[in-house]
Chains A and B, each alone.
Chain A
């Protein structure tokens, strides 16, 4: 054991990275079905590692791991602290829960000769997201961001049953994602120009005397815009709805629950660890850029969601609104607000994971996902629709669910800052969520089913079990908030205290 434990940080990324090319080998010799099993086991190993890392950083201290034993700041450093250990756990946890669901869903949606490549890309995407999160090196973030993005473009382009609209969605995302990444790398370049370092901790130290430097300001702006594009902050969200709508169900579940969250993490890292709220230009960004955009996102996303007839797209727009909540929490720049963001990274992963997984079950049986095709589905697929409704309640923020915990902290944060009109806007926008969730509930439970729906059966257990695990977690972490709030409080205090 002692041989492995010190190397856990690098193994977290190296295992899926090495697994990806191995997975390709399953193309040969009729072992295609093993690709899924292999990906599943890798995911579970990643989850175990992430769990071990989190328990270590929460109970003991932060971990610094020097790649190739080159001491930081000269070599690449992997640095694990509570916030990124938490995000690692979310990424690998969602992957570990989503993959058991994926076997049937992928078999139905993607033709069999592509399965192996699909899972290979999935592993690369997992690698990228884990890498972005764990690394303590700014340029390394960019590298992993590209690994995850490139594999995501492929995953989205696969499409449900070769839906050609997935190609344009992926292309759109490719263009915008690349612009985002370019902005990000230009920003890193500018900071490197001034400071001569890429290590995040070192960068933070060296930036301290440079708060009036124009180049630093420009670098900051580039980085913020780049990450905001990746996390789909309104009005830079244009790539998201189509990408989520046309991607295969597994990809939507995984991306909706993890990829934007990772970008939120990167943003937090730069705003608080590298720059810190002590700088005037950071505070101005909070007040005059992020705050208004977050509020507009909350409403624009929810209002657009109400008018969607494609349910996957509906929840995609709802994600835009939910990202608005997260950014609002960031821009409040106080403990409850920041806690709300960190909690919501986790909580939103649980609810959107469950929602998109339930939609995956509907696609599995129905093949379509328009609101009109879901008439009376509550009777035919009671477990799927029950899960969808309960996860929807969590999205609304009904007490007893995780959504409530996030909302509580967010409102507490706005009131603490004295922004009471914003508190009213938050509750207003969550009432919009009631409208679009209830559109679905009414169609599914109160409409008469047509003859087409009468022949439908519930999806198999292997799909329902992971779905209900997520639904139950939605309620479990809504009541037992020890772990989540402890981590969130810890992190928020470090971010605001340490600068």
Chain B
């Protein structure tokens, strides 16, 4: 298989899977097999590109020139490779989980659910491998639209209003700001190609640079920078597998991935740090990190708390980009991976709790850890990883992000990272503590708790990703090696 065809297949396989799913809609077992097979094949194809990229080569493919100098163009580079690997790898685990969750919960319209899921994954691959901002924007919008039916899945009034905010904010910011920024860039540079040193240098009046950057940063609504973060809590009306893979991995990471791409390949790190155009962004991102953490503490609904935690963690990455140095990019890229693995664990645990007990509020979960020890153990590991404690993956990304802040000599930012980690401890570990150590509500459970876990397909996936958090602690250096070329 040539590298180019692997690249094309990575985008097509999920879509083919989607067609298979729609054909097999009358045979649920075969339909789910189709999802699993396509996720496995996709991961195989994506990982087959890895050696090539590690050796420093790039793979590119131009489909068609749509407008002058604007082609539908794909190009695999390290950062995109990292994003594609994490999204496709976690899709396998999430597919297992989806089957357990959707069946355990007896959800309706499952065929539609699986089909739109495949479209979302395909567009994530498109985003990961986009060779220019134009291609990226196309897939960015397809991702928004294809996840709308997933968010509105329950079709009740909550789902409807949640989905409305979701679509309104994501489409609104992307057309209102991002498209304008893209056209502006195209007008002054005549290109939108991702170029290692950026394309804007010398083409734009430095006083306008912060404005263009703001159009991009707020235009990439998927990065959930405040005040355009409301869509993420709204999206929590979706079934949990959607929250887990899309709203902890694919969609939100597509957002911060785009932020990194824009900073590295459109603005250029050097140009940004020379002009200081991103200084304001440091403060906006810091504010988002802290404010979202504080809001998370006040949320009693588990998924809402996790959503605000995600908003806060996403801004870690934006902050890394705003620092405009190599370490920040490295830390940001690494955090895409470590946060993805950690947060998907937490969401899958939340879903497992819901399937087993139909509980959504944290205050109802006292003593639940003794009934669901595996789920809560996985939750504890995921939490520790997100807090950034060794020996879990999150340690390294925070390490690099803090180094980046030190390198830029902005000490406040280190303070922000530290403070936010403490807040993480507060709002995540309190759940674990409540589950394991608080006395249970029901008297019978207090005496001798019986183990009542969710179905195996709901419990196994978070345990696997929890192990992943541990494993990544030891293998993080490979990701760093992969990312090193773009951060230098």
Residues in chain A within 8 A of chain B (CB atoms) = 393, 396-400, 405, 407-408, 411-412, 415-416, 423-424, 427-428, 430-431, 434, 438, 442, 445-446, 478-481, 485
Contacts and interface: CB of A to CB of B under 8 A. Distances in A.
> By DSSP majority rule, is chain A's interface helix, strand, loop, or mixed?
helix
Contacts of B68: 485
A399 B168 CA distance: 17
A438 B164 CA distance: 9
A479 B145 contact: no
B485 interface: no
B186 interface: yes
A332 to B, nearest CB: 13
B145 A442 contact: no
B183 A431 contact: no
Contacts of A485: 67-68
12 contacts: A397-B175, A398-B145, A405-B67, A407-B179, A424-B176, A431-B176, A434-B175, A442-B164, A446-B152, A446-B155, A478-B66, A481-B66
Nearest to A379: B109
Contacts of B183: 408, 411-412, 415, 423
B67 A408 contact: yes
B43 interface: no
Contacts of A397: 175
The 9 A-B pairs at the shortest CB distance, nearest first, are namely: A399-B138, A411-B183, A446-B155, A427-B176, A415-B187, A427-B175, A399-B141, A446-B160, A398-B141
A379 B66 CA distance: 34
Interface string B149-184: 100100100011000100110011001100110011
Contacts of B179: 407, 411, 427
Given A479-B72, A485-B67, A416 B160 contact: no
A398 B179 CA distance: 11
B64 to A, nearest CB: 6
A393 B160 CA distance: 19
**Which one of B155, B159, B179 has the highest number of Cβ atoms from chain A below 10 Å of its Cβ?**
B179
Nearest to A399: B138
Nearest to A407: B179
B184 A431 contact: no
A412 B171 contact: no
Contacts of B175: 397, 427, 430-431, 434
Interface string B177-207: 0011001101100000000000000000000
A453 to B, nearest CB: 15
A446 B172 CA distance: 21
B64 A412 contact: no
A135 to B, nearest CB: 33
Given A393-B145, A427-B176, A430-B175, A415 B160 contact: no
Contact of A434 (B137, B159, B160, B167): B167
Nearest to B68: A485
B214 interface: no
Contact of A411 (B142, B159, B180): B180
A431 B66 CA distance: 23
B137 A399 contact: yes
Given A412-B186, A430-B175, A479-B64, A400 B138 contact: yes
A273 B458 CA distance: 70
A397 B138 CA distance: 11
Contacts of B66: 405, 478-481
A438 B142 contact: no
A398 B174 CA distance: 10
Contacts of B172: 431, 434
Contacts of A400: 138, 141-142
B264 to A, nearest CB: 22
A431 B180 contact: no
Interface string B230-257: 0000000000000000000000000000
A438 B167 contact: yes
A446 B168 CA distance: 17
Contacts of B72: 479
Contacts of B171: 396, 431, 434
Nearest to A398: B141
B186 A427 contact: no
A437 to B, nearest CB: 11
A405 B142 CA distance: 16
Given A415-B184, A485-B68, 5 more contacts: A400-B142, A412-B186, A431-B175, A442-B160, A480-B66
A63 B145 CA distance: 46
Contacts of B152: 445-446
Given A400-B138, A427-B179, A480-B64, A412 B167 contact: no
A427 B180 CA distance: 8
Contacts of B180: 411, 423-424, 427
A416 B187 CA distance: 7
Nearest to B186: A412
Contacts of A423: 180, 183
Contacts of A393: 145
Given A434-B168, A442-B160, A428 B141 contact: no
Contacts of A446: 152, 155, 159-160
A415 B64 CA distance: 26
Contact of A412 (B137, B176, B187): B187
Contacts of A438: 164, 167
B488 to A, nearest CB: 33
Contacts of B176: 424, 427-428, 431
A481 B167 CA distance: 28
Contacts of A431: 171-172, 175-176
Contacts of B159: 446
Interface string B130-144: 000010011001100
